[in-house]
Amino acid sequence: MTNIIPTPQVKALDEALKKRGIKTDLEHWDHHKHIDIAILNSKIYIEVDGLSHYINPEQIIRDFKRDHFSDGDDFRTLHITNQLISTHLEEIANAIESVVKENG
């Protein structure tokens, strides 16, 4: 397995979540794929995606297949664009914090 280096946006969101007391697992391996950020106790995977995940049909299909494997373990995957992290980091982190608290 190769070392995965998180993008600046993934690192920023991970740090923002940790500041809110959320236990995260950066570049989590679920035995099928790496997940950018996993919040294991809430069964949430977070993928921070670049533009190709939204405009490349082959990438979209790959993402559908990747997400399918998470469904079997009752994990839900939240996809967030790099651009949204760059412009709305605090609001996104606050929203995720609320979801985590609600899912206890």
**102 falls within a domain:** no
Tell me if 9 sits within 8 A of 86, measured CB to CB: yes
Strand, helix or coil for residue 48: strand
In the chain, which ranges are continuous DSSP H helix? 8-19, 52-55, 57-71, 82-103
Q: What is the pLDDT of residues 17-49, one digit of tens each?
A: 999 999 999 999 888 788 999 999 999 999 999
Domain that holds residue 24: 8-95
Distances (CA, A) of 98 to 2, 21, 79, 93: 34, 12, 17, 9
Q: What is the CATH number of the domain that holds 32?
A: 3.40.960.10
**43 falls within a domain:** yes
pTM for this entry: 0.85
Measured from the Cβ of residue 91, the count of other Cβ atoms closer than 10 Å reads 10
- How many domains in the chain? 1
Q: What is the pLDDT of residues 50-64, one digit of tens each?
A: 888 788 899 888 878
- pLDDT of 91 strictly over 70: yes
At 72 the pLDDT is: 62
**34 falls within a domain:** yes
**76 falls within a domain:** yes
**103 falls within a domain:** no
Q: How do 44-49 and 76-81 pair as beta strands?
A: parallel
**1 falls within a domain:** no
Q: Which amino acid is at 77?
A: T
* Mean pLDDT in residue range 83-95: 97
* Mean pLDDT in residue range 71-89: 88
Question: Longest Cα pair distance anywhere in the chain, in angstroms?
Answer: 37
